[in-house]
Amino acid sequence: MLKKICTASYLSLVITFSLVQAQTPSDPQPPTEPSYAEQNMEALELTSYDAGETLLYRQYSPPTVEAGQSYPLVVFLHGYGERGSDNSKQLVHCADSIIRYIEKNKPAYLIMPQCPDDMRWVRYQRPVNQPPHRMDRYPTLPLQLVEKLIENKINDLPIDPKRIYIAGLSMGGFATWDLISRRPELYAAALPICGGGDPAQAEAASQVPVWTFHGGADSVVPLAYSQLMVDALKAQGKAEAKLTVYPEVGHDSWTQTANNPDVWKWLFSQSKE
């Protein structure tokens, strides 16, 4: 009997040891390599003492800034899933593609702020399934900080005031529509991706050239949100309002958009008069 117990205990020990070996890597795992954007964008923050809040952001700057030259500024706003406090998650989508295009074609500044976890760029109905969107009278606190950040960069950096561009995806797409509706005189062009705006604000927003993108099979933010905005802009008699629909694509309409050099070529070709 004692022999059986000892044998059982031995087998149990061998199995347990084997499981531990299987679950424990023999070598330490290498750290995840930072993305191209993380390697090339400075981690910064804007503190608003009036609001008592801090806005984290990443900034890409031209490698060489020539005296007397001014440069475009691109502001890109992330989606709901990239909110946080690590000043990194907002770089997951599109950042690498934008930087690589800039490096190859057009020296420019790029700013990508990060919305805090418990906030939004724009207040919108959830689930987002009943267009149209209606814009609040006042921007949210994070969006106010984005506006403050843009003002600071215009004052502190050699930014060309005629070439300030705004873009964003999903929640950031809503914010892009929001910003050009509030400050159309500021932006030379806009790229809202799978977002939505308030058609009642079309008169103001129509002052900004817009190229918007949406997946035809988007079940998160239905295509109707973009379609209604483009229809409203065109009703104002503005030709610079176009919509690209990816028929079989769901919510991720940003990957194809960011990887298309013609999109960024169009953006950088726009300038305020």
Residue with tokens 């295509």: 223
C-alpha span between 41 and 88 (Å, rounded): 10
Cβ contact 164:72 at 8 Å: yes
pTM: 0.87
DSSP-derived secondary structure letter, 81: G
Query: Which pLDDT score, from 0 to 100, does residue 104 have?
Result: 96
- Tens of each residue's pLDDT in the chain, 273 residues: 434 434 444 444 333 333 333 343 444 445 578 899 999 999 999 988 676 789 999 999 999 999 999 999 999 999 999 999 999 999 999 999 999 999 999 899 999 999 999 999 999 876 677 788 999 999 999 999 999 999 999 999 999 999 999 999 999 999 999 999 999 999 999 999 999 999 999 999 999 999 999 999 999 999 999 999 999 999 998 768 999 999 999 999 999 999 999 999 999 999 998
SS3 assignment, position 195? coil
Q: Measuring CA to CA, how many Å separate 116 from each of 35, 57, 174?
A: 21, 11, 16
Q: What is the dihedral of CA 270, 113, 98, 273, to 10 degrees?
A: 10
Cβ contact 46:152 at 8 Å: yes
Long-range contacts of 185-192 (CB under 8 A, 24+ apart): 186/150, 188/162, 188/163, 188/164, 188/270, 188/271, 188/272, 189/165, 189/266, 189/267, 189/270, 190/165, 190/166, 191/165, 191/166, 191/167, 191/257, 191/263, 191/267, 192/167, 192/168, 192/226, 192/229
Tell me the backbone φ, ψ of residue 163, rounded to 5 degrees.
-135, 60
DSSP element (H, E) containing 210: strand 210-215
- For the chain, list the domains and their CATH numbers: 40-269 (3.40.50.1820)
